[in-house]
Amino acid sequence: MTGAVGNFFRVWKIARTLARHDALFPAEYMALMPARLRFLRRLLGSGQVKDGTTPGYRLARALESLGPAHIKLGQVLATRPDLVGAEVAATLESLQDRLPPFASAEARTVVEHEFGKDLGQLYVRFGEPVAAASISQVHDGETNEQPPRRVAVKVLRPGIEDEFARDVSTLRFAACLAERFSAEARRLRLTALIETLAESTALELDLRMEAAAASELAERMAEDKDFRVPVVDWTRSSARVLTTEWIDGVPLRETEALRAAGHDPKKVALIVMRSFLTQALREGFFHADMHPGNLFVDSKGRLVAVDFGIMGRLDLATRRFMAETIGGFLARDYVRVARAHFEAQFVPPHFSLETFAQALRAVGEPIFGRPAREVSMARLLQQLFDTTRRFEMQAQPQLLLLQKTMVVVEGVARGLDPDFDIWEASRPVVERFMLDQLSPQARLREMADTIAALGRAVQKLPDFMRKTDAIAEMLVEGGLKLHPDSERRIAEAGRSDYGLVWALLGFLLGVAVLWRFVLS
């Protein structure tokens, strides 16, 4: 079953699954529902809550039961407390991207098919899976070199590409329907949310992209002595297989093991936060899945990240906006933060900058002077989302991964140090970035980029002038000559909307006048 009909039935199946888990229209909110939603709730078969679980927990379990694409969607929704609420978003942060492993024999078949070789020509040992997620699983292995090297071999699940394509198509269909009938859905840009999901998972489904991401991050962070990335084995990596060095380290989730190995959890927490901010601000390229299972500390005390399937990129303008926002809150300069929002055109210009700054003050002031352990980044983000919604600020897809990762990284740091102060940890990185941006070298780079852009525009100017002159000559010497197909389409447009024709003619006449009397 394909097309809209197939998508409709799959959307219905998703709705039924969510209803059975009482996660679509939770019973806790029944008193607030209009009659039509209560009717739809009964039609879908929603039941009463019997196990005492929260709506967020039930939603997470429902998404896990629906499969890989929906697990990934849940992880994206964890970044959108404005859409699902702070409590549900916090619960979805812990959504487990774990599935039972598929058979090792299937993994061996995938590897041999990818490289056209017997497994023994690549690895002298290919062990059982040590971790399995929705897209792939990892095997412990050793290369067939002398001496052998211990490696981690990631293999995609068989058939996962087709499964993702089908599910993303269905989610896209559902988002389009929602935006067609709901102004709130349009404001929240649900289709953009699904496109973010589609783009990120498309990269995850090609392990060469993950290998390239690991290599790029290693190169960018090479001078940072507290952070490193596993080396990629390019000769044993392909679209469906990724081989990297094996990491011998202590997982960050094992705080007591860190202490036993001689590592100070408080220092590790600081390294985690500053490594993330350095990647995001200085490099504009960051690891966007920094949960404790992907982070280790090696024998030299360095933070080691694995699993580069989800990466984030920020252009310079967005990085400056992020630094201005963090720096403004650190300095309690709310006009500065408001100005950053207006300059980025995130807030419509008909609003008052001073009024928006006042709203930001209401968010920021309550966190100062309180113990660090009482300041929740998730709660602060929720308050910011509420404020920006009041000022008609649309959700920014390019910030979704950044918001998600910031919350996760803070959670990791707090797990290591309950008194962790995210603001003081951020200050040196933000200040260094801002100083670098104001340096003479940065100004020269910016000037060079501007000159290069002007040069590209000037190169196109002669062709534009030649074409404009030709149009003017045609108008003066006997009228504009159009291709027969163009004439037919203008005639058809004229029958339905004469305004379009007059606008076109007015534009062409304006060009002719400008050319003859101003530019000549």
Question: Which residues have a catalytic role annotated?
Answer: 289
Tokens of 371: 């113990």
Provide the residue type at 267 as one letter: K
DSSP states along 295-327: EEE-TTS-EEE---SSEEE--HHHHHHHHHHHH
Rg (CA), the chain: 28
Residue 104, class by beta-carbon neighbours within 10 Å (0-12 exposed, 13-18 middle, 19+ buried)?
A: middle
- Taken as a whole, the chain contains a residue count of 520
Select from 193, 276, 208, 192 the least CA-distant residue to 244: 208
Consecutive H or E run containing 488: helix 484-496
CA-CA distance, 378 to 407, in Å (whole number)? 6
CA-CA distance, 85 to 4, in Å (whole number)? 30
* Contact present, 278 and 312 (Cβ < 8 Å): no
Q: Strand, helix or coil at 210? A: helix
Tokens of 96: 């487990």
Residue keyed to tokens 């993303």: 168
Cβ partners under 8 Å of residue 40, min gap 6: 25
143 DSSP assignment: E
CA-CA distance, 152 to 68, in Å (whole number)? 22
Tokens of 160: 């996962």
Max distance between CA atoms of the chain, in angstroms, equals 90
Residue 37, class by beta-carbon neighbours within 10 Å (0-12 exposed, 13-18 middle, 19+ buried)?
A: middle
Distance of CA 357 to the CA centre of its chain: 27
479 DSSP assignment: -
Residue keyed to tokens 């970035």: 433
480 DSSP assignment: -
CA-CA distance, 79 to 57, in Å (whole number)? 16
Cis preceding-peptide flag for 397 (omega within 30 of 0): no
* Dihedral sign, Cα of residue 280, residue 285, residue 290, residue 295: negative
Q: What are the CA-CA distances from residue 411 to residues 15, 198, 369, 460 (Å)? A: 31, 26, 21, 51
**162: number of CA atoms within 13 Å, CB side?**
3
Residue 243, class by beta-carbon neighbours within 10 Å (0-12 exposed, 13-18 middle, 19+ buried)?
A: buried
